[in-house]
Homo-oligomer: A and B are copies of this chain.
Amino acid sequence: MTEIELGITADMHVHLRDGSMCELITPTVREGGVAIAYVMPNLVPPITTKQQVVDYHTKLSKLSPKTTFLMSFYLSKELTPELIEECADLIHGIKCYPAGVTTNSKYGVDPNDFSSFYPLFEVMQKKGIVLNIHGEKPGNKEEDEINVINAEPKFLPALKKLHADFPRLKIILEHCTTSDAVAAVRELNKDYKQGDELYVGATITAHHLYLIIDNWAGNPINFCKPVAKFQKDRAALIDAATSGEPWFFFGSDSAPHPIHAKQTHVGVCAGVYTQSHAIGYVAEVFDKAGKLENLKKFVSDNGVNYYGLSDEILAKHKSESVWLVKRDNQVPEIIGNGDVEVVPFKAGETLKYAIEWR
């Protein structure tokens, strides 16, 4: 029987929502095999104050005391350099949403105009606070040639410019979905030598290791932003995730929506929910690629190292470890409690790997 010790696992991109959804979903971080979760700030209203961070962290920790929740701000005009300085020990990053591209992104920014945030980026660079970027170029006007397929590649020049302008700002291109994004992240790290500080990182989800466009065409449950693309893109993502390269690490972008928000003929909410079986989904892809030996790098070490998590944070998790165990792992058709119900990714299917906490 295959058993692999994964150590302190980290999912560096989770959506835990609020209200009854939050209560349902937060405990599933641990159930899915994740010790440390980087929490997205796109609540309504978005998280932009110290008090919101403290309150949300308290709430999440109460719902799942053994899990470590890393907190973030939502990049917006309400943030000030002073606030960032003040909160430098409370948050690990600031999430940048281009306006209008995904769930609760209407408060977001225009990536053609990052310059107004440069004073913030200066402080973030100084304090080692990560800029988490949803890397899609918004296109609203009829004459824009932006669409859900090319929005990520069209964003990459903005990523490169940002890195050029702030070479020691830690920037993560979140939930990469294209071979172009994978290539760009490698290109930006081409001079990296072991032991160097890493600046440009990239998260990859579980579901983008499985899906292509055909899988969400007609199946809203697989519809997310950025959308899954083509076979060559999926292959590039699998190659990146399983490569062991230190700039690629796991961020599930698990994004639960109530089932009724998926069962509608217009305005389907974007997001795939993977939290409850997160490590299981990923492990199966690594197994199929013959790269299980690199799984720990992807789901544990690379993310923890990139964020440079403190000994204090890690100490909490030293007493136990996540183990990957090869055994049938059934994904339920639905997760919920009547009050709120979510359909998980690969609902009803049987995964080959489960996790145990030991």
Tell me the A residues contacting B by CB distance below 8 Å.
145, 147-149, 212-214, 216-221, 223, 227, 230-232, 259, 262-270, 343
Contacts and interface: CB of A to CB of B under 8 A. Distances in A.
A283 to B, nearest CB: 19
Given A218-B270, A220-B218, A265 B265 contact: no
Given A219-B267, A219-B268, 11 more contacts: A147-B212, A149-B230, A217-B223, A217-B227, A218-B268, A218-B269, A218-B270, A220-B220, A220-B264, A220-B268, A263-B263
A25 B343 CA distance: 34
A238 to B, nearest CB: 12
Q: What 6 A-B pairs are tightest by C-beta distance, nearest first?
A: A262-B265, A218-B268, A221-B265, A220-B265, A219-B266, A263-B265
A346 to B, nearest CB: 11
Contact of A148 (B148, B217, B220): B217
Contacts of A212: 147
A219 B265 contact: yes
A284 B196 CA distance: 60
Contacts of A214: 147-148
A264 B264 CA distance: 6
B149 A213 contact: yes
5 contacts: A148-B213, A149-B230, A219-B267, A220-B268, A221-B266
Q: Of residues A213, A218, A232, which shows the largest number of chain B Cβ atoms within 10 Å of its Cβ?
A: A218
Contact of A264 (B147, B227, B263, B267): B263
A94 to B, nearest CB: 27
A114 to B, nearest CB: 24
A270 to B, nearest CB: 6
A217 B212 CA distance: 13
A334 to B, nearest CB: 10
A26 B169 CA distance: 63
Given A231-B145, A262-B265, A218 B223 contact: yes
Given A218-B223, A220-B218, A231 B268 contact: no
